[in-house]
C-alpha cells in the first residue's frame, strides 16, 4: 500500500443488515411492522451523527503531520531562546568585566 492510498473504512452496513434479518426471523417480524420504521429512523440518526463526527475529527495522517510540525516549531523556538539567553553584546560584557575588576579592587583595599 502506498502512502497516497487511504484505507477504506470498514462497512458495517452488511453486518447490521444480517443481524436485523436474523433478528426478524428469530422474532417473526413482518416486513410491514412499525418497528422496522423505527429501525430505519435509528439508521438515519446514526448516519447523521457519524457524518458529524467524520467532519469534526481530523484524519490521523493529518494529525500526525500537524503534531510533527508543532514539534519541529517547538525545537526551533527552543534553540532560538537558548541562543538569545546566552548572547551578550560586547560593550555590555566589557562594562561588566571592568565593573567586576573595580569592585574586586575596592573590596581588596577595604580589607
**Residue 78: which domain range?**
59-111
Share of the chain above pLDDT 70, in %: 91
Same domain, 30 and 76: no
What's the pLDDT at 58?
74
What's the pLDDT at 110?
82
What's the pLDDT at 1?
47
Compute the distance between CA of residue 97 and CA of residue 91 in angstroms, rounded to an integer.
10
In a domain, 2, yes or no: no
Beta-carbon contacts of residue 29 (< 8 Å; ≥ 6 apart): 23, 35, 36
Same domain, 22 and 46: yes
Higher-pLDDT residue of 10 and 39 is 39
In a domain, 16, yes or no: yes
Compute the distance between CA of residue 51 and CA of residue 55 in angstroms, rounded to an integer.
6
Same domain, 41 and 73: no
Provide the number of structural domains found in the chain: 2
What integer best gives the mean pLDDT of the chain?
A: 85
Q: Is the pLDDT of residue 17 over 90?
A: no
In a domain, 3, yes or no: no
Compute the distance between CA of residue 9 and CA of residue 98 in angstroms, rounded to an integer.
71
Helix (H) or strand (E) holding 91: helix 90-110
In a domain, 77, yes or no: yes
Same domain, 33 and 67: no
Compute the distance between CA of residue 29 and CA of residue 23 in angstroms, rounded to an integer.
8
Same domain, 72 and 97: yes
pLDDT digits (tens, 9 = 90+) for 20-64: 889 889 989 888 888 888 988 998 999 899 888 888 877 788 889
Residue 110 C-alpha cell reads as 577595604
Amino acid at each position: 500500500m502506498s502512502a497516497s492510498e487511504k484505507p477504506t473504512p470498514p462497512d458495517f452496513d452488511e453486518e447490521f443488515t444480517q443481524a436485523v434479518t436474523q433478528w426478524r426471523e428469530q422474532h417473526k417480524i413482518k416486513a410491514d411492522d412499525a418497528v422496522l420504521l423505527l429501525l430505519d429512523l435509528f439508521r438515519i440518526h446514526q448516519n447523521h451523527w457519524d457524518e458529524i463526527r467524520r467532519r469534526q475529527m481530523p484524519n490521523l495522517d493529518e494529525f500526525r503531520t500537524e503534531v510533527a510540525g508543532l514539534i519541529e516549531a517547538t525545537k526551533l523556538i527552543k534553540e532560538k531562546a537558548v541562543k538569545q539567553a546566552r548572547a551578550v553584546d560586547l560593550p555590555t560584557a566589557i562594562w561588566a568585566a571592568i565593573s567586576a575588576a573595580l569592585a574586586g579592587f575596592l573590596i581588596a583595599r577595604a580589607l
